């Protein structure tokens, strides 16, 4: 019992606040590393929760994989945590009666892009559809590359989208980057006609060209090959494998490496780039762009009404009318925002 008394008397020592680690900054290039939170607003059904988890994995390593969210957490809570942690981007999933929504926001000021998820497939679905899903151990240890394609139509909101997604992953310095760290790629392809953005996530694999499959496997696997059916050891090298060496003739997908990569890819020889999808897969429609973080002036609206009415309202100097109209429009088109706060 005496122990308790002793404990009580102990003076309270204020915990020393550690300064934010220099982890916010890349130690090679000195650039600020963007970090992200992926979370949801409102209750999500099972598959969307899974999608949230997949997105977190995609955003690795600079994201909170095990971010706990509670029902009572509002956007401000996340924002308060984001500051000290150096989190620069929010990916917010929400769900309405019509469709699930994905909001990509920059903290703390915005802007916010709201995407309607037209279709999505989980990483598990993608893996299930494949004969041999690929998941090397170090796949998620490095940030992915990002490729944006078809966004150059000159429209403002597309330009903004481009910038947003370019800065969501850390930049790489071409002079110092190790090719072994380029394991994944995120592709966003804008289709001008349907106005949909295809979101894909691939893993990058390099294979030496001009080496038969048998020898490649032999070098990779470290296993004693089965030579029972061969007359001579030389047959193992000379005998052609099965006829499915079709990959080799794709000239566009070959690279010369700057350095050796793994056991099989020598710097001197050419290698073929192979992509395999790892998911998740999404088809997005850019619905709205807001100036603030999930708030503020609507810069762009897919349905056009909000922006138009605003402009008209300004011309007429009838602000009350404008407000009414805008409110009505937003209520119709974007139920996703109602869940906030």
158 binds another protein (CB under 8 A): yes
248 binds another protein (CB under 8 A): no
In three-state secondary structure terms, 1 is: coil
Residue 97 CA to residue 243 CA, distance in Å, equals: 51
> Cβ of residue 201: shortest distance to another protein, in angstroms?
10
The interface with another protein within residues 43-62 (CB under 8 A) comprises: 45-48
CB closer to another protein out of 199 and 329: 199
CB closer to another protein out of 111 and 336: 111
Query: Which residue's structure tokens are 């409102």?
Result: 42
Query: Which residue's structure tokens are 């802007």?
Result: 111
Residue choice 6, 7, 175, 234 for contact with another protein (CB under 8 A): 175
Query: Which residue's structure tokens are 């869940």?
Result: 339
CB closer to another protein out of 199 and 325: 199
Size of residue set near another protein by CB under 8 A: 71
Residue 93 CA to residue 49 CA, distance in Å, equals: 9
Residue 257 CA to residue 208 CA, distance in Å, equals: 10
Residue 263 CA to residue 218 CA, distance in Å, equals: 11
Residue choice 91, 122, 264, 293 for contact with another protein (CB under 8 A): 122
Residue 89 CA to residue 277 CA, distance in Å, equals: 24
Q: Which residues contact 308 (CB under 8 A, 6 or more apart)?
A: none
Residue choice 33, 87, 257, 264 for contact with another protein (CB under 8 A): 257
Phi, psi of 323, rounded to the nearest 5 degrees? -60, -45
25 binds another protein (CB under 8 A): no
Residue choice 73, 80, 83, 129 for contact with another protein (CB under 8 A): 129
Residue 88 exposure: Cα atoms within 13 Å on the Cβ side: 15
> Cβ of residue 281: shortest distance to another protein, in angstroms?
6
243 binds another protein (CB under 8 A): no
Q: Which residues contact 274 (CB under 8 A, 6 or more apart)?
A: 204, 205, 206, 207, 247, 253
Residue choice 33, 202, 209, 336 for contact with another protein (CB under 8 A): 202
Residue choice 24, 29, 269, 285 for contact with another protein (CB under 8 A): 29
> Cβ of residue 100: shortest distance to another protein, in angstroms?
6
295 binds another protein (CB under 8 A): no
Residues 79-108, mask of contacts with another protein (x by CB under 8 A) = ------------------x-xx-----x--
> Cβ of residue 29: shortest distance to another protein, in angstroms?
6
339 binds another protein (CB under 8 A): no
162 binds another protein (CB under 8 A): yes
> Cβ of residue 257: shortest distance to another protein, in angstroms?
6
Residue 325 CA to residue 310 CA, distance in Å, equals: 9
The alpha carbons of the chain give a radius of gyration, in whole angstroms, of 26
Q: Which residues contact 315 (CB under 8 A, 6 or more apart)?
A: none
């Amino acid at each position: 019992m005496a122990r308790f008394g002793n404990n009580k008397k102990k003076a309270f020592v204020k915990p020393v606040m550690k300064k934010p680690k220099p982890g916010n900054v890349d130690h090679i290039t000195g650039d600020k590393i963007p970090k992200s939170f992926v979370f949801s607003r409102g209750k999500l059904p099972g598959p969307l929760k899974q999608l949230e988890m997949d997105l977190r994995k995609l955003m690795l390593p600079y994201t909170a994989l095990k971010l706990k969210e509670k029902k009572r957490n509002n956007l401000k809570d996340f924002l308060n945590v984001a500051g000290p942690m150096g989190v620069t981007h929010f990916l917010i999933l929400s769900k309405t009666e019509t469709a699930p929504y994905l909001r990509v926001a920059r903290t703390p000021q915005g802007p916010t892009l709201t995407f309607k998820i037209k279709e999505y497939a989980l990483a598990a679905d993608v893996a299930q559809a494949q004969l041999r899903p690929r998941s090397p151990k170090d796949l998620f240890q490095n940030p992915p590359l990002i490729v944006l394609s078809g966004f150059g139509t000159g429209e403002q909101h597309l330009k903004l989208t481009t910038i947003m997604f370019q800065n969501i992953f850390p930049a790489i310095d071409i002079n110092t980057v190790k090719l072994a760290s380029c394991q994944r790629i995120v592709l966003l392809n804008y289709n001008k006609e349907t106005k949909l953005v295809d979101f894909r996530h691939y893993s990058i694999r390099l294979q030496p060209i001009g080496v038969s499959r048998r020898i490649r496997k032999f070098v990779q696997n470290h296993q004693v090959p089965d030579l029972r059916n061969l007359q001579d050891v030389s047959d193992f090298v000379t005998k052609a494998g099965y006829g499915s060496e079709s990959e080799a003739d794709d000239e566009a997908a070959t690279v010369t490496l700057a350095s050796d990569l793994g056991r099989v890819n020598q710097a001197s020889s050419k290698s073929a780039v192979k992509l395999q999808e790892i998911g998740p897969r999404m088809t997005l429609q850019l619905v709205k762009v807001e100036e603030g973080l999930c708030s503020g002036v609507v810069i762009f609206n897919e349905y056009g009404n909000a922006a138009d009415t605003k402009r008209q309202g300004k011309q007429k100097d009838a602000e009350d009318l404008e407000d009414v109209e805008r409110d009505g429009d937003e209520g119709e088109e974007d139920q996703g925002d109602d869940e906030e706060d």
